Amino acid sequence: MTDFSLICIGAHTGFWIENLIKKHSEKKILLVEPVVYNFLQLKKRYAHIPNIHLENCAVSDKDEKLNFYNIKEDSIFKLKKHWASGIGSFNKDHILSHYSKRFKVQKEDIEKNELDCLSFMNLVKKFSIKNVDLLLIDVEGAEFKILSSIDYKQILIKEIIFEKKHFDGVFLKGKKFQELKELLVSNKYEISELDKENCSAIKKL
Q: Specify the range with the lowest mean pLDDT, choosing from 73-82, 138-147, 162-171, 187-196.
A: 162-171
Q: Where are the domains of the chain?
A: 2-63+119-203, 65-115
SS3 53: strand
pLDDT average, residue stretch 160-170: 78
DSSP string, 3-39: EEEEEEES-TTSGGGHHHHHHTTTSEEEEE---HHHH
pLDDT at 8 over 90: yes
pLDDT number for residue 117: 94
- In CATH terms, 2-63+119-203 corresponds, of 3.40.50.300, 3.20.20.140, 3.40.50.150, 3.30.360.10, to 3.40.50.150
| Tens digits of residue pLDDT in 70-80 | 999 999 988 98
pLDDT at 163: 86
* More confident site: 57 or 177: 57
Residue 167 in contact with residue 177, Cβ under 8 Å? yes
Is-contact 33 136, C-beta < 8 A? Answer: no
Q: What is the mean pLDDT of the chain?
A: 92
pTM: 0.92
